[in-house]
Structure 1
């Protein structure tokens, strides 16, 4: 049955319903509310300097809190497992801390020296790679269908290659000079970062000890009428963040291992280093694999055309295994975010907050989506209370 247009509903009743929905009894209430909101914005703009200490405090504590929260969501399942076998929580936390310290020590003494050696070798060999890649591209363009246009540009590839070391040296000199000029800021930032890293274990300890009590304390602070809805939002947000962090870390480790093994099998240089790069960049959806494969493609092109084919085969297999088996099993549909939305979130968060925005943009959006979704559901319930005609009400799923 075709619904009648909303314009046919009694105009006066609609106005009254909207005003009641906003919480008032007359149009004057709505006008005064809008005026007060504008006044608050103007006052806040004029006295924003009062909130500068809060801004400094937030920028100081945000990094250790984020790092500790990531550690909390990664280690919480292990702590719960230890509690199931009747190990007290304090002893469980101590066992976890000792295990993490042992793992870090093992990585520092076994993996880090080999990884450092590969990084140093790559830095030493980079000028050779750059020279060969530049000359190969120059040769290809001169023999391609674009040769006439390319030659009209009068580009001297050999001159570019020969001047590259001087340009790199000048760049490094300018960079060192710039750092020397801003040495105070650099030392301050480095000190803040070190302090943040040092405080992470202490924050993490108290999160593991009392983290599950914090939502209950927060909910008890709210009015009784809001507690049920707040509990649903907190549980849903906790599930979303937990699933994303745990799943993303496991997927990243799997990708790093597969890439390292695959590159090792085909005989590519710096296999471990390229695997580590792939592991860290895979935490960024869509853009991560593109960043990870770029240095591998450069090395493969310089090595041989056949190596490039082998690289393409390995990378395709890794992506297929990840897309068809690993990510669906570990990540599932926990976030339910459209790929286009993910791209827009990454671009926006990256422009606003840099690298941190790219890494934290997706979980931040997932958290915001949970809150907005529940608030919109409450909005629909409130809206339906003030609309007498059933055909104009929202349908609220159970």
Structure 2
């Protein structure tokens, strides 16, 4: 009888939730401004959380050195400002020239690519690698159309989010400052939501989440910067055009596990192929060697055993995150998985482990 009553209560709760969702969908005009506000705030909040876990170890270390926490944050802000100024003065002019040249030359590059593929098709070189009745030009057109559709959709979404850059620049540094400054009070508020007998366990969970996310974000940044240095030096060595621009794109895209490395390789290989087939081949070798050095030498040293996620699990998570929320979902799915894994492990130890092991 008790089990039946519990089941009925659960069913009623599910029905009520579904009813609320349905009613909410019927009054979309009420929630649309709220969703629009959330969309605008998403980017600065993501940046705040990213830099929070990136800078948290440094702020904590400076505080242990008897430096006032607020002063430590202001010193870090000053250093970041100097680094940004150095980037704007030293790197941005060259990067801007490469970007403008690439945009201006894009039509000519596409035409040149089509001509080179047509030449290969006439020579019969591609016949051994492609199925019969398959034209590389047709395939190229299809892939380019799909690629442009894909990029247009995401760029349109990102532009709508980042269009008001003033909001991003205003919210991001202020929210980051208070997140770093009020770290202790935020922790206490989260712990206060749990029953008193679980306060110590909640504190352990929060500390473990902080360590895991901070280690993941700092480690990811370090290995991506190392990858960028390796690729940039290699591209300079082979004389690849737009080397700096392509390297920065590859570093940014590499924050997306697996998929990012593949997507960033496509423009590199196209630009290399337009220069010469040998350049494309050497570019592929540099990408492969850089990725191998990153995955087998740098990443294990930086992460150790902190990122205990199987590669197959990572692929599934990336696919699910992309299906649910696009680029934002892909970027957030791994950290969310890490948080959920820590919480579920603690809940299992507290409530189920002893009972299940005695069965």
The structure-2 alpha-carbon separation of the partners of 1:233 and 1:151, relative to structure 1 and needing over 3 Å to count, comes to closer
2: distance between equivalents of 1:72 and 1:256?
23
1:95-244 correspondence runs (5 A): 95-142=75-122, 143-144=124-125, 146=127, 189=161, 192-244=164-216
The structure-2 alpha-carbon separation of the partners of 1:155 and 1:79, relative to structure 1 and needing over 3 Å to count, comes to closer
The offset of 1:154, in angstroms, is 8.7
The reply on whether 1:68 has 2:48 as its aligned counterpart is: yes
User: Who is 1:367 aligned against?
Assistant: 339
User: Who is 1:273 aligned against?
Assistant: 245
2: distance between equivalents of 1:383 and 1:56?
47
The offset of 1:92, in angstroms, is 1.2
The structure-2 alpha-carbon separation of the partners of 1:373 and 1:99, relative to structure 1 and needing over 3 Å to count, comes to same
Which of 287, 298, 309 is matched with 2:259 structurally?
A: 287
The offset of 1:130, in angstroms, is 1.9
The offset of 1:44, in angstroms, is 2.1
The offset of 1:56, in angstroms, is 5.5
Unaligned runs of 5+ in 2: none
TM-score normalized by the length of structure 2: 0.83
2: distance between equivalents of 1:367 and 1:141?
51
User: Who is 1:31 aligned against?
Assistant: 7
The offset of 1:304, in angstroms, is 1.6
Equivalent pair of 2:191/2:203 in contact (CA under 8 Å): yes
1: distance between equivalents of 2:133 and 2:113?
21
Equivalent pair of 2:39/2:161 in contact (CA under 8 Å): no
User: Who is 2:65 aligned against?
Assistant: 85
Equivalent pair of 2:162/2:168 in contact (CA under 8 Å): no
1:341-360 correspondence runs (5 A): 341-360=313-332
Equivalent pair of 2:321/2:333 in contact (CA under 8 Å): yes
Q: What do the CA deviations read for 1:361-389 (whole angstroms, capped 9, x no partner)?
A: 211222222223333334424744xx9xx
The structure-2 alpha-carbon separation of the partners of 1:345 and 1:100, relative to structure 1 and needing over 3 Å to count, comes to same
2: distance between equivalents of 1:151 and 1:228?
67
The reply on whether 1:328 has 2:328 as its aligned counterpart is: no
The structure-2 alpha-carbon separation of the partners of 1:42 and 1:54, relative to structure 1 and needing over 3 Å to count, comes to same
The structure-2 alpha-carbon separation of the partners of 1:43 and 1:116, relative to structure 1 and needing over 3 Å to count, comes to same
2: distance between equivalents of 1:145 and 1:96?
55
Secondary structure of the corresponding residue to residue 182 of structure 2: helix
1: distance between equivalents of 2:159 and 2:239?
42
Unaligned runs of 5+ in 1: 1-24, 176-181, 394-398
Larger radius of gyration: 1
When the two structures are aligned, how many residues end up with a matched partner?
Answer: 342
The structure-2 alpha-carbon separation of the partners of 1:212 and 1:190, relative to structure 1 and needing over 3 Å to count, comes to same
The offset of 1:280, in angstroms, is 0.5
The structure-2 alpha-carbon separation of the partners of 1:44 and 1:81, relative to structure 1 and needing over 3 Å to count, comes to same
